[in-house]
Amino acid sequence: MSFFGFGQSVEVDILLNDADSRKRAEHKTEDGKKDKYFLFYDGETVSGKVSLALKNPNKRLEHQGIKVEFIGQIELYYDRGNHHEFVSLVKDLARPGEITQSQAFDFEFTHVEKPYESYTGQNVKLRYFLRATISRRLNDVVKETDIVVHTLSTYPELNSSIKMEVGIEDCLHIEFEYNKSKYHLKDVIVGKIYFLLVRIKIKHMEIDIIKRETTGTGPNVYHENDTIAKYEIMDGAPVRGESIPIRLFLAGYELTPTMRDINKKFSVRYYLNLVLIDEEERRYFKQQEVVLWRKGDIVRKSMSHQAAIASQRFEGTTSLGEVRTPGQLSDGNSRQ
């Protein structure tokens, strides 16, 4: 970035020390495009150089100080004027004075806490970036460089399945089962659907992956539902006693880990939505939340039995198994 002032301009750049070896990750921008950024994890050190290149070697650059910041912030699109910073670190690189030649300043932020995953959604953006600032009397010279942070999780080997009986009294009674309640982002959802009673003419059945983004609090809560995937289970009428297998590969879809109450600003949750459509185009559906998590290349498997049990209780799933009155599949589900 250049600053054109009274006879002098400067190009500012931020260079990471391990730029040649550090992995890059694709991340969606606000306009929906994908760019690659340097990838960091929680606790990693961020270090590099702030490079200042003077355009006119024979003229000096006066300044009121030079600094570099590491910032993690949340921006709500309906409140763009306010940036909510949850990480803010500053390093002063130079006291007020003047620069007579191009030079570089080293910086290091040691073992930086990066508690949340980078995220760009419908109504909110969580970003991490480095910002170098040359303070000037009239206009500051500012350069920002974004990075991407991934949060890794380790879940216990115990991972209960989801089993439910749902139906419409005297019309439809089905059981469905998913093999787990928590899936990593490259996992495979395996399940089965059993038809115990079929007295309505079902012509189509599918499973959708729904992402629900929630922003704001109190009366200013916004919900955005996005259908990430549609998986057709069957096309045609099932018969009593029929069993249909499910195998849905997650790796091909744009998913993030489940994010719950991030800095009390937003949440991202995922649901499996079982949809049945009859010959009169009436839709019956049943939603079940699942937890998605990012698996590291090296996953620690050691966990005591007590910790595993405690985690299982904390993450416990809900199982609904009652047959309801006509027009309902179960609590919280409806016929459209």
Q: Which two tokens stand for residue 244?
A: 């249909």
Go through the domains of the chain in sequence order and give each one's CATH number.
10-149 (2.60.40.640), 162-293 (2.60.40.640)
Mean pLDDT of 32-39: 91
Compare 200 and 185 and report the one with higher pLDDT: 185
Position 302 pLDDT exceeds 50:
no
| Average pLDDT for 77-95 | 91
pLDDT average, residue stretch 142-156: 90
- Under the banding of pLDDT at 50, 70 and 90, the label for residue 89 is very high
Q: Pick the residue with more confidence: 302 or 236?
A: 236
Most confident of 138-142, 146-150, 330-334: 146-150
Between CA 44 and CA 300 the distance in angstroms is 18
Residues 256-275 have a mean pLDDT of 94
pLDDT interval class at 257 (50, 70, 90)? very high
The answer to pTM > 0.85 is no
Please compute the mean of the pLDDT values over residues 93-120 and round it to a whole number: 95
Average pLDDT over residues 98-113: 94
Of the listed ranges 60-74, 254-268, 303-317, the one predicted with least confidence: 303-317
Instruction: Say whether pLDDT at 77 is over 60.
Output: yes
